[in-house]
Structure 1
Amino acid sequence: MGVMTFMRTKMGYFLVGGIAVVLALFVLEPLLQQGPAIFGSSRNTVGSIDGEEVKYEEFNQKVEQSVAQFKQQYGGEINDQMKAMAIDQAWQAEVAGVLLNKEYERLGLIISGDELFDLLQGKNPSPLIMQYFGNQQTGQIDRAAVINSLKQQSKNPDLKKQWDMLQIEVEKQALQQKYASLIRNSIYVTSLEANDEYSNRNKLANFKYVNLDYSSILDKDVKITDGDYQAYYDANKKRFENPTETRTIEYVNFSIKPTAADSAAIKAQVDKLAADFRTTPNDSLFAATNSDVKVPYVYLSKGKLDPAVDSVIFNYPAGSFYGPALSGNSYKLIKVVASRFSPDSVKASHVLIDPSKIGGDVAANKLADSLKTLLQGGASMAELAAKYSVDGSKDSGGDVGTFARGAMVPEFENAAFDGKTGDIKVVKSQFGIHVLKIDKQVGNAKVAKLAYIEKSLAPSSKTRDVAYKKASSFLNEVKGDNFNSLAQKNGYTVGVADRVGATQGYAAGLDNPRELIKEAYAADKGEVLPQVYTMDNGFVVARLTEVKPKGQLSLEDVKKQIQPMVMNAVKAKMLTEKLNKALAGSPNIEAVAQKVGKTAAPVQNMVFANPIIPGLAQENKVVGTVFGSAVGKLSKPIEGDKGVYVVVAEGFTNPAPLGNTFKQKETMMLGITQRSLGAAFQALQDKSEIKDNRVKFY
């Protein structure tokens, strides 16, 4: 597509493109969930990053750009979860932008004028310039197009604005690359480290073990004391640092699934609709009027419909009728209006004429016919497009690229796919009058024009009313301390959405819970949330049961969570005592095994870097003990993840000496570098105060 076309359609997403670079560079997904959910801040402040306030108006523009990109990527519609992801992506970019810019300034990193010139139009173009001005087949940049577009800035204020945005993003990307290079160049692997890593991945150990599984002791036979909880908590405190505030919600979902009566009523409606559909004189209008899902009345290729329908409908001849057939959660009724073979894709060019600029449709059509005649006589499309076209593609000879069905407006698409290579057509669309040239057609597959009706199995208004009345009644009656008992009394199931973040677009068992989550973050622990929430599959009444703040969680916060681990720790003490008795006076592993009623199990060719005991589990402590043992010496009991073990090393096989230390270092440095980039960014966050107040706005 032309320069102006890409500018108009894609430049709005350059900021998002910058996000992608930062995310790829620093692996931010697990790192940027920072800041408590609610802070005393002005109504217009979404948050603050290292002392810099993030204002709603500016941030929301970036959110809209991110949402628009998601919509473009996922076909025009996104759900609440994807919207939350888009908002989070915009926030992550905001955090990255502020912190990295400060770090660049501290380090003295800049992009000079000469560097920027080279990135925009020199011998070392930015990947962004390559993306929009490069030839995908040759990998070469069209410098003439770049320079021509730059020259046009003085005559086109919109183009200048887009170039200004592009230049900012090119500079950002170049700074990111410089910073990444700085980090990479600080990494070094010693020869000793290289040899240790090589040995860990290639040295083999043969050993035998005896294990007593934690499951060999029934939970009912174990008594856990407060001291046991405290000991486990103290030994594992670092595991209980909460990177961001989370909340736990319990809820009752009053289902609005269709009843048997609803399904019967819909089936009767569909049967009548099918009878009328068979005899209607206007298939497309009837389908458009009666279908819950709108399918364009154009030729479709295989792969665009529900799989159950798609697998059979393209075998039907024109004039056939399909359905009513229940597939998924809806009935399908289809008339095959026409079918034929058609190209898979088309490469085309055009001149777009705007009738409003040359005196109306009559004048536009007259000009289009004249241009068609010139083209048929051998005139240059590029020259005519440059002179007459109002579309941005005029800067690339009128080329609109190669496209499949569904990429263009129907009038343009039909003309391109219904003709043949070399055809020149005049086409009217919502954008104006096109003089279209079919440059190339690729492939050949069967396509069908369908009149398509889909009727969903939806609950009736009566079913919805009944469910809502139940939910409202429960909300009016429930109190904070009787939520579970009242639900149990009425036969309702209580669900739990655990550790829900302030900006999440999803929660366990809930379809579109953003409003519920927002109000949960405005509530106090134990409160019933103030309204009945409408989900895709029901009405929900909810209560906030737990608040886990950012930072070090208390024992009380994690007590329920760690109960299984504490149980195993207590069992480990009991099993360790049993194995210590068995070890006393035992000359070998077989004697230990005999005393505890087990068989010593052999393991061959274990490597330190892959500590999985066949048939059991990954046991890091156990395998680590083996590689630190002397051959033939019985170990003390080892508390593993699956049980308690005693091991004896039977022998080791050392690998051949490392032949290429440089290659080993290079491999290690690659992995360390990738981790260090993320670690560097994490360090920037750790020393910065980040307040995230998005939950009040989104």
Structure 2
Amino acid sequence: MATLERIRNKSGLLIIVIAVGLLAFLLGDLMSSGDSIFRRRNMQIAEINGTSVSYPEYQSYVTELEDYYKLNSRTSSLDENTSYQIREQAWNQMVQDVIMDEKYEDLGIAVTADEIFEMATGKNVHPQIRQMFTNPQTGAFDKAQVINFLQQKNLDPNANFYWLFLEKQIKKERLFTKYRDLIKKGMYVTTAQANAEAKAKESKVDFDFVMKRYSSIPDSSVQVSDSDIKNYYSSHKDNYKQEATRDVVYVSFDVKPSEEDRQMANDWIANAKTEFANPATDAIQYVNMNSESNYIDRNLKVEQLSSTLQGFVQGAAVNEVYGPYLENETFKLSRIVAIKQMPDSVKARHILVNDPVLADSLFALVKGGANFATIARANSSDQGSAINGGDLGWFAEGTMVKPFNDACFENDKGAILKVESQFGIHIINVQDKGKPVTKYNIATLERNISFSTKTNQQVYAQAAKFASLNNTVEKFDEAITADNLVKRYGRNLKANDRTVNNLIHSREMVRWAFEAEMNSISDIFEFGDSYVIGFVTGAKEEGYQSIAAVKGSIERQLRNDAKAEVLIAELNSKKQGNDINALATGIEGEVMTANQINFGAFQVPGAGVEPALVALATNAKSGELSAPVAGNNGVYVVKVNNVVSSTVDATAEKAQLSQTNGFKVDYQTTEAIRSKAEITDERSKFF
């Protein structure tokens, strides 16, 4: 079990799922939803490159990862955000498993049992296994620990679980490494490529240029026909792929405390004052039993208190009460529990260990006069301070965990103490203490101003009335204007989006938007402290955007192409030898200058992002006007005035290109394969 505990502490949340827990999922589904398990069994949740994935198959990925997360983090439940992240992680892993397994099978890539064993106990142990089975005393990998663990793991289900998890992880990693290495071999950089790249970077040019913008020609003078648009669309159709999206409009009825609710909170705190202020009442216990927030045991200087209390405490005595007062929409009563003279900060050092026997031994040594710093360097598990002999420097009250904090601030300078916290056993030496200052320990009773059930019901009734009277988009819009409400928009919602704008936990509205018909009204959603009513106002299905939707952008592109031809002809007709100033005068433009531009430049000052201009300038002959070239914003002519040559090491360039290609393979391989995969994602119907 000690080994398993160390694995838990070191492993973290690994991005791989173990094939266990499907039976638990099936039984749980059967118990909770009757025959839903049988209806879901054959329901398809995805299709990946023709491979159908059923709901139980995907859910098994999710359940397995949830089980691992719960075991690793020692929790029995997951919050909504963690559950969502796990579902996304399971989805990505499932997709990768399908698409990459196809590649491995096609190429005959496999990992044998002998390879797995070699990575666990051989000469080249996997880093994860090396980390988990490193001897804490020697810092060296302990092969005997691995072998002992493998022999005993079947006796502990959790240990077996961890090992299966790790085994799958390193197997998948080794498979992908083999695949990636094959691709890297195919991206070899030739000497010719390296020489060409080096030569392109050897020259930096200073040049003048003139530009004639497309906007100089009126749109009305260039005709673009519907057939031109249709032909362009057909030739570039892949540029107009789209995801399924929905647009909604909605109105939110927020539940806020009424004046009656505020008065109820005020009355409650006022009625509590008599008992809370009674010296016989245990203020700390009273706060913990009755307040919105528990008592916090802190001793604070005047300047650390809220501005409301600073004037009160100066001159006040223990057990005096201030209030009721209002702060951040909360009514409060504050009672002084204690007034102390305490140092503002202390200087201490410590030795942190987890073994009680070792702690007792080390405590006896330092109490007996042994060198504290030497013992800390050799034994403390707090490596950040151990290197400095356990020295933590000066720290203010409240900086450290409470047992440690109290031991340092409540004991004398020079004291050697032993206390336990959630981090382990601390052997502390209080080295110095600051000048005492007056500090106040205060217990505060709080009553939040919150809405009542009555207020909540009133707002719901208002929302229900609005929905019943305004069940069409037209009536909805008119009522919003008449009632001075705020119309809100949720645009381009995707099927798996979790929220609509900032509406809390509004996943259900996204699901509704994809199931509802156009211009249909929703039910009344309850999101946080708001009731929401919406309409679906727009819908795009997965596939290609229609010609009508992209007509404007295509028309602009075709107009610019046509304008470029006109401008190129104009610039050619205005050229007078190599005189760029005459050309600028002829087109009523100006000469602009750019310096130190090489082939790798991203943009040109005065022109912006213009790859065509960079290519033109770095390839033009020095001293001659270039031919006109069309760019993003207009047509350009350049005249290179100066070329500064430098030597670029082709060997170094080859190494750099090889490294760049390697990075691309490492970080883009899976994404590139995934972008080519045919994936139908229908998870939104289930989650």
Identify whether the pair has TM-score above 0.5, normalized to the shorter chain. Answer: yes
Which residue of the partner structure matches residue 91 of structure 2?
91
Q: Distance in 1 between matches of 2:117 and 2:224?
A: 70
What SS does structure 2 have at the residue aligned with 1:584?
helix
Residue from 547, 556, 573 that aligns with 1:555: 547
Which residue of the partner structure matches residue 237 of structure 2?
237
Residue from 47, 50, 60 that aligns with 1:58: 60
Which residue of the partner structure matches residue 506 of structure 1?
499
Which residue of the partner structure matches residue 646 of structure 1?
636
Q: Distance in 2 between matches of 1:590 and 1:137?
A: 79
CA contact (8 A) 2:495 2:511 kept: yes
Which residue of the partner structure matches residue 614 of structure 2?
623
Q: Which moved more, 1:466-475 or 1:224-233?
A: 224-233
Which residue of the partner structure matches residue 118 of structure 1?
118
What SS does structure 1 have at the residue aligned with 2:245?
strand
Q: Which amino acid aligns with 2:611?
A: N
Normalising by structure 2, we get a TM-score of: 0.70
- Give ranges in structure 2 of 5+ residues lacking alignment: 20-38, 366-378, 386-399, 409-414
CA contact (8 A) 2:205 2:643 kept: yes
Q: Distance in 1 between matches of 2:573 and 2:177?
A: 62
What SS does structure 2 have at the residue aligned with 1:646?
strand
For the pair 1:347 / 2:352, whether they are aligned, the reply is: yes
What SS does structure 1 have at the residue aligned with 2:45?
strand
Q: Distance in 1 between matches of 2:299 and 2:185?
A: 53
Which residue of the partner structure matches residue 28 of structure 2?
none
- Give ranges in structure 1 of 5+ residues lacking alignment: 20-39, 352-369, 379-397, 405-411
For the pair 1:534 / 2:532, whether they are aligned, the reply is: no
Q: Which moved more, 1:538-547 or 1:139-148?
A: 139-148
Measured after TM superposition, the shift of residue 570 of structure 1 is: 4.1
1:323-362 to 2 correspondences below 5 Å: 347-350=352-355
Which residue of the partner structure matches residue 684 of structure 2?
695
Q: Which amino acid aligns with 2:250?
A: V
What SS does structure 2 have at the residue aligned with 1:208?
strand
CA contact (8 A) 1:301 1:445 kept: no
Q: Which amino acid aligns with 2:598?
A: V
Q: Distance in 1 between matches of 2:218 and 2:73?
A: 53
Q: Distance in 2 between matches of 1:257 and 1:483?
A: 20
Q: Distance in 1 between matches of 2:635 and 2:18?
A: 52
Q: Distance in 1 between matches of 2:405 and 2:521?
A: 56
Q: Distance in 2 between matches of 1:622 and 1:94?
A: 46
1:312-323 to 2 correspondences below 5 Å: none
For the pair 1:608 / 2:603, whether they are aligned, the reply is: no
Which residue of the partner structure matches residue 251 of structure 1?
249
Which residue of the partner structure matches residue 375 of structure 2?
none
RMSD between aligned residues: 5.5
Which residue of the partner structure matches residue 176 of structure 1?
176
Q: Distance in 2 between matches of 1:456 and 1:214?
A: 63
| Greater length-normalized contact order (CA 8 Å, ≥ 6 residues apart) | 1
Label 1:149 to 1:508 Cα distance change in 2 as closer, same or farther (>3 A). same
Which residue of the partner structure matches residue 163 of structure 1?
163
1:64-103 to 2 correspondences below 5 Å: 64=66, 80=81, 83-103=83-103
What SS does structure 1 have at the residue aligned with 2:353?
strand
1:455-470 to 2 correspondences below 5 Å: 465=457, 467-470=459-462
Q: Distance in 1 between matches of 2:440 and 2:383?
A: 21
What SS does structure 2 have at the residue aligned with 1:185?
helix
| Per-residue Cα deviation, 1:500-548 (whole angstroms, up to 9, x for no partner) | 2222223435443211111222223x14253122334643322333333
Measured after TM superposition, the shift of residue 463 of structure 1 is: 6.3
What SS does structure 1 have at the residue aligned with 2:515?
coil
Q: Distance in 2 between matches of 1:664 and 1:684?
A: 28
CA contact (8 A) 2:571 2:628 kept: no
What SS does structure 2 have at the residue aligned with 1:645?
strand
Q: Distance in 2 between matches of 1:290 and 1:200?
A: 76
For the pair 1:594 / 2:585, whether they are aligned, the reply is: yes
Percent identical across equivalent pairs?
20
Normalising by structure 1, we get a TM-score of: 0.69
Measured after TM superposition, the shift of residue 276 of structure 1 is: 7.5
Q: Distance in 1 between matches of 2:93 and 2:140?
A: 30
Residue from 666, 691, 698 that aligns with 2:655: 666
CA contact (8 A) 2:233 2:554 kept: no
Label 1:42 to 1:155 Cα distance change in 2 as closer, same or farther (>3 A). closer
Aligned length: 609
Q: Distance in 2 between matches of 1:277 and 1:615?
A: 76
| Per-residue Cα deviation, 1:624-678 (whole angstroms, up to 9, x for no partner) | 33334444224436241xx32322132453543332x333222222222332355
1:132-531 to 2 correspondences below 5 Å: 132-134=132-134, 140-153=140-153, 155-201=155-201, 203-211=203-211, 230=230, 233-234=233-234, 236-242=236-242, 245-256=243-254, 258=256, 268=266, 272=270, 279=277, 281-289=281-289, 292=292, 297=296, 347-350=352-355, 437-438=425-426, 465=457, 467-476=459-468, 477-479=470-472, 484=477, 487-488=480-481, 490-524=483-517, 526-531=518-523
Q: Distance in 2 between matches of 1:333 and 1:219?
A: 72
Q: Distance in 2 between matches of 1:206 and 1:619?
A: 16
| Per-residue Cα deviation, 1:49-102 (whole angstroms, up to 9, x for no partner) | 3425242541330453587699999xx98665x653432122001111233234
Label 1:147 to 1:205 Cα distance change in 2 as closer, same or farther (>3 A). same
Label 1:566 to 1:155 Cα distance change in 2 as closer, same or farther (>3 A). same
Label 1:372 to 1:62 Cα distance change in 2 as closer, same or farther (>3 A). closer
Measured after TM superposition, the shift of residue 443 of structure 1 is: 11
Residue from 638, 642, 646 that aligns with 1:656: 646
Measured after TM superposition, the shift of residue 680 of structure 1 is: 4.0
Q: Distance in 2 between matches of 1:445 and 1:692?
A: 63
| Per-residue Cα deviation, 1:599-629 (whole angstroms, up to 9, x for no partner) | 2211111233223222553222332333344
Q: Distance in 2 between matches of 1:519 and 1:418?
A: 55
CA contact (8 A) 2:472 2:521 kept: no
Q: Distance in 2 between matches of 1:274 and 1:209?
A: 81
Q: Distance in 2 between matches of 1:492 and 1:414?
A: 50
Q: Distance in 1 between matches of 2:561 and 2:525?
A: 46
Q: Which amino acid aligns with 2:589?
A: K
What SS does structure 1 have at the residue aligned with 2:597?
strand
Q: Which amino acid aligns with 1:607?
A: N
